[in-house]
Structures are given as structure tokens and as C-alpha cells.
A = this chain, B = another copy of it.
Amino acid sequence: MIAYARNGHTDKFGIPRQSREESPIVTRIVFEPEYRIPEALRGIEGYSHLWLIWGFHDVEIKNEKLKIKNSKEWSPTVRPPRLGGNKRMGVFATRSPFRPNPIGLSSVKLIGIQPSAVSHQLELLVSGADVLDGTPIYDIKPYLSFSDSHEEAKNGFADETKDYHLAVDWGLSKVSEEWKRDVTYILSQDPRPAYQDDPSREYKLDYQGYTITFIVDRQTVHVKKIVKI
């Protein structure tokens, strides 16, 4: 672990799932004391995008060493939420967290670098990181369009659902613009654990210290309540 992620994603169901639209949510990549070395980032400011390699939450960190539990929870097939949660696909044909080695991969946009002489902190600010608050980061690499970008790639069954998103009806809720933008994005990505067709069923989502209660009627999320945790 070289760093950890800090953002408002305290609820795993709120994490966008390999979306076509880029998340507006800003994540701080906070370097661990041993890696607070500005020279290790020399030249990174010339890159617009980075790769983060990180650990899903059944990952164990000991003595600054990366040690991943040989999770017995993995199964050769998983049910991608985007396919409605009832179709099984091979785990290596999905980005599911329930994998033999629970390593995550995200391309993110580099927004800023924040060295601070006062706090001895060193942080990268990125957007588009689909990671939970507190996620351990193992590696950061530059995104190289000439080797990493394959516009023409065939996306298998993911192509069927890549444009899937919901409309969001905020009703009479009064919230700040930035918070609303972030949560609108999260809700539009459908944070339900699986798709159900019951428009009266209430779901809850935590984001940045608030619990949002919502229902989903066909293709629209209706926000019912926002309560400070």
C-alpha cells in the first residue's frame, strides 16, 4: 500500500460500475508517510489520465506489505448487476470484486497535485475513481493512450448495458449544487443491489455523511428523504 483513497463513497452500492459517463466525484489519493516523496511524482503533471491499482475491501494489509487473502468467497461465475443480477458470467469476463485476487483497476483523470509543506502531506486529486473511501492504493501508473487506448475494442455483453442510466427527480429536496451534482451522478448509475420492479420499495444510500432514501419507478429515481447520519 502506497496511499489510500479519500472521497464521499462510504456506501459500496453508490460506486459507479465502469460507466460510460465520467464520474464528477473527486477522490484524494493520500500518500502513506513512507511514500510522501514529491520526486516520485516528477513528470506526472504532463499526463491527463492515470491508472490506479487498488484493493477491494476483503484485502488485508500488514507491515506495509501487500498481502491478499486467498478469499474462498470467489466463485467461477458471478451475476453482473448490470445484467439485472440473474445472469451468470465468468468472473474473468467481468469486473466483479469477487475475484481470486481482489485487485481493482481504474483509469482516472488527474486534476491536481497537492504537496503541503505544513502538513507534510502529499496528495493527488483525481476524478472518475470508482473506489470506496479508505481503499488501499497499491500502484499509480501513467495512462499511455498509444498503448492503453483501444477505441475499437469489442465489449462483449457489457455493450448491451453501457448506456444504461436512470433519470433523477429530486422533488423538493434542498441541497447544495455540488452535492446534488455528485449524488445525481451516483443515482443515475442505479445504486440498487439488483434490479427490482417494485416502485414502492425504498432504498437507502449513504454519501458524504447523509443517507438518501429513494424509490425507482421505471427509469426514474425519486428522492424521498435526505437525513444527516
Give chain A's interface residues, CB within 8 Å of chain B: 1-2, 18-20, 35, 37, 39-49, 51, 53, 63-70, 76-77, 88-95, 99-101, 103, 105, 107, 138-158, 162
Contacts and interface: CB of A to CB of B under 8 A. Distances in A.
Contacts of A142: 92-95, 155-156, 158
29 contacts: A1-B101, A35-B100, A39-B76, A40-B76, A40-B92, A41-B93, A43-B93, A43-B157, A44-B92, A44-B156, A45-B156, A46-B155, A47-B93, A47-B155, A48-B152, A53-B101, A53-B103, A63-B70, A92-B140, A92-B142, A94-B141, A95-B141, A103-B139, A107-B150, A142-B155, A142-B158, A143-B155, A146-B155, A149-B150
Contacts of A99: 139
Contacts of A40: 76-77, 90-92
A44 B150 contact: no
Q: How many copies does the complex hold?
A: 2
Given A66-B66, A70-B64, A149-B149, A141 B105 contact: yes
A68 B1 CA distance: 11
A153 B138 CA distance: 22
Pairs of residues from A and B, 8 with the lowest C-beta to C-beta distance, nearest first: A46-B156, A42-B90, A43-B93, A40-B76, A44-B93, A48-B154, A20-B146, A145-B153
